[in-house]
Amino acid sequence: MTRLAPRQAEPEMARASEALAVLIEAWRALSPALPPGVPGIEAAEVRLEGGVPALAGEALLDGPALVASLREIARRLEVIQGYDAARAIAETLVRRSSALDTGLLATAALAGVWDEVESLAAGLDLDPDALVTMVDYAARPALRAGAVVVRPLVAAAAWSRGTCPACGAPPALSVRAGKEGERSLFCARCGTGWRYARVRCPACGESDHRKLGALHAPGEGDYRRAEICDSCECYVKSVAALDPPDPDGVSKLDLDTVALDFAALERGYHRPGAAHSAGPG
């Protein structure tokens, strides 16, 4: 994420908010009919018991469906200033689809294996970060649909990891709710939330309070803060809420708290797996 000068921040945030609204509508419209028997419930349960995300390896999305999703998202985004590159990416993938293994691209997108997508970008003369972001957006409707199916399994699982129990992505937010401030982590890719220890770094598991801290604006520490870890130099944004956010709400909160990202990044901290977390939501 690039730090913005004060006079640039307002129009940039306005465009990002507009883009997020467009993306949310696109994700809702693109909600796919998953293939029969996918995800496999018994297999997902076994994976969770073994500490593997429930949706790992599930064919939620094939290559043509990924490209179609990407084209629709690009079509919707092109009306927003600064997002016109999305159409060029979609057109390039459509034009070259017969020579590409779009099935492997879909598999990489679902798993969040962005190195493979970056390698593809180099061969297509596309910006790697832009292609990763667009492919990520295009895969999210299928991930959300799959997460809904395995939600009862996730709720019953004894999951203690700092990555999403449904899709394996790092958390976008930490949410504290209730009188006891019970902590849950939330995934922006599939919208899953899961309980997590209150004093523990999701990235490395550090639980020594002397190595954990928080960054926040004056008077906002109880409501919004960036929880930092000096052991791994990662951070996760934390908000207080009466009710857990739905998948769209996670993306909105992530964008609304972007000032915390700036504060943490300025001090040398980074999101877990944040190399490709740019963009709204």
Domain count, the chain: 2
Does 167 map to a domain?
no
Q: What is the pLDDT of residue 280?
A: 47
* Contact in structure between 213 and 149 (CB atoms under 8 Å): no
End position of a domain, from candidates 127, 156, 185: 156
Residues 23 and 140 in one domain: yes
Q: Concatenate the DSSP letters of all residues of the chain into one string.
A: -PPPPHHHHHHHHHHHHHHHHHHHHHHHHT---PPTT-S-HHHHHHHHHTT--TTTT-----HHHHHHHHHHHHHHHTTSTT-THHHHHHHHHHHTGGGS-HHHHHHHHHHT-HHHHHHHHHHHT--HHHHHHHHHHHHHHHHHHHHHHHHHHHHHS----SS-TTT-PPPSEEEEETTTTEEEEE-TTT--EEE--SSS-TTT----GGGEEEE--TT-TTTEEEEEETTT-BEEEEEE-SS---HHHHHHHHHHTHHHHHHHHHTT-B-TTGGG--S--
pLDDT the model gives residue 9: 57
Res 87 pLDDT > 70: yes
**What is the overall mean pLDDT for the chain?**
90
Same domain? 66 vs 141: yes
- Residues 177, 269, single domain; the answer is yes
Query: CA-to-CA distance for 276 and 128, rounded, in angstroms?
Result: 9
Q: Is the pLDDT of residue 23 over 50?
A: yes
Same domain, 211 and 263: yes
CA neighbor of 164 nearest in space, from 48, 268, 3, 244: 48
Residue 7 has pLDDT above 50, yes or no: no
Same-domain check for residues 124 and 10 = yes
Which of 109, 130, 156 corresponds to the end of one domain?
156
Q: What's the rounded mean pLDDT across residues 14-25?
A: 92
pLDDT digits (tens, 9 = 90+) for 115-171: 999 999 988 999 999 999 999 999 999 999 999 999 999 999 999 999 999 999 999
* Residues 229, 96 share a domain: no
pLDDT over 70 at 107, yes or no: yes
266 belongs to a structural domain: yes
Confirm whether pTM is higher than 0.75: yes
| pLDDT confidence of residue 177 | 87
Q: In sequence order, which residues have a C-beta less than 8 Å from that of residue 227 and are 6 or more positions away?
A: 174, 201, 212, 213, 214, 235, 236, 237, 238
Both 89 and 60 in one domain: the answer is yes
What's the pLDDT tens digit per position in 250-262?
999 999 999 999 9
Residue 162 falls inside a structural domain? no
Residue 244 has pLDDT above 70, yes or no: yes
pLDDT in tens, 194-214: 999 999 999 999 999 999 999
Q: Residue 78 has what pLDDT?
A: 87
Q: Are residues 20 and 149 in the same domain?
A: yes
Q: Please state the rounded mean pLDDT for residues 16-23.
A: 93
pLDDT digits (tens, 9 = 90+) for 164-179: 999 999 999 999 987 7
pLDDT at 246: 95
Q: Same domain, yes or no, for 16 and 152?
A: yes
